[in-house]
A and B are shown apart, each in its own frame.
Chain A
Amino acid sequence: MLRRSFLAGAITVLPFAAQATPEALEAAIKEVTGGAPLREGKVTLDIPPLVENGNAVPLTVRVDSPMTADDHVKAIHVFNEKNPQPQVFNAWLSPANGRALVATRIKLADTQKVVAIAETNTGEFWTAHADVIVTLAACIEDIT
């Protein structure tokens, strides 16, 4: 009995020793918003709903903004729920970009939620999220 519970403990702890939790995600979001309210809308998060390989998942964040000096997106932040760290990237924009758009490729270690947050020059925070199913996870082991 003792041996069994010990083994079960070892198995559950080892592979996911480092994993962001919904709480870590909340904390990471709070770090950029400073507790300001998040509003759904304006942000479009383009990510495939089902990915075969979590090592390179294409992601595009678009924000509906005129990108003028008076009204523009200052930053785009992307977070995830279950990678070892909740942060994915922070990108800083200005009216010089003309369009509030960032595209990149990310790693996903598990089936999880991805959150994008846009920060405007007026201090508003807009958000969008997407659920992604990952069949082959990233960062599990070195297979080379």
Chain B
Amino acid sequence: MANMLVNAPRTANKGQIVEIKALIMHVMETGFRPGTTGRIIPRNIIEDFTATWNGREIFRMKMSPAIAANPFVSFSAVATESGTIAFRWSGDEGFLAEHQVAITVT
């Protein structure tokens, strides 16, 4: 399981715009670099990142090798209802990581 860090407020007022930050540990190997043996190191990146709020998609991002190692993404969302914000990262070599945070909207 990959290490990840998600920063989202635990509570929000209805209609408030909240900022969500997600960071995950990943090498993001580009597939363009030669290693110490002189051979190209095979590509190993996270390709897709999605965030859903109570199952409804609020943000999706398709990454390329140009995203820095340990991808960090920040975006915003309108707080509509209490529930869970779920994050999903998937990529090369069958990489899959999921994380959830709870948010209370009043």
Chain A complexes with chain B: yes
Cβ-based interface call for B101 (8 A): no
> A96: which of B64, B68, B72, B78 is its contact (CB, 8 Å)?
B78
- Confirm or deny: B95 has a beta carbon within 8 angstroms of a beta carbon on chain A: no
Nearest residue in A to B73 (C-beta to C-beta)?
A: A104
Instruction: Say whether A104 contacts B76, CB under 8 Å.
Output: no
A103 contacts B17, CB within 8 Å?
Answer: no
**A101 close to B (CB within 8 Å):** yes
Assuming A91-B60, A96-B58, A139-B30, is B66 touching A103 (CB within 8 A)?
A: no
- Cβ contact within 8 Å between A102 and B75: yes
B56 within 8 A of A: yes
Residues of chain B at interface, number, CB under 8 A: 33
Do A140 and B61 touch across chains, with their CB atoms under 8 A apart?
no
Interface residues of B in 15-61 (CB under 8 A from A): 17, 28, 30, 32-36, 41, 53, 56-61
The answer to whether A102 touches B74, judged by C-beta atoms less than 8 angstroms apart, is: yes
Known interface pairs A105-B68, A106-B68; A97-B78 also in contact (CB < 8 Å): yes
- For B68-103 the 0/1 string (1 means CB < 8 A from A) is 110111111110100000000000000000000000
Question: In the complex, are the beta carbons of B60 and A103 less than 8 A apart?
Answer: no
B32 touches A96 (CB 8 A): no
Q: How many angstroms between the C-alpha atoms of A27 and B31 in the bound complex? A: 21
Instruction: Classify chain A's interface size.
Output: 35 or more
- Please indicate the chain B residues that have their CB under 8 angstroms from the CB of A60 in the complex: 74
Residues of B within 8 A of A97 (CB): 58-59, 75-78
* 29 contacts across the A-B interface (CB closer than 8 A): A55-B68, A57-B68, A60-B74, A84-B65, A89-B61, A89-B62, A89-B63, A89-B66, A92-B59, A94-B58, A95-B78, A96-B56, A98-B77, A99-B17, A99-B76, A101-B75, A101-B76, A102-B73, A102-B74, A102-B75, A105-B71, A107-B67, A107-B68, A108-B66, A138-B68, A139-B65, A142-B33, A142-B36, A142-B41
Q: Which residues from chain B sit less than 8 Å from chain A, CB to CB?
A: 17, 28, 30, 32-36, 41, 53, 56-69, 71-78, 80
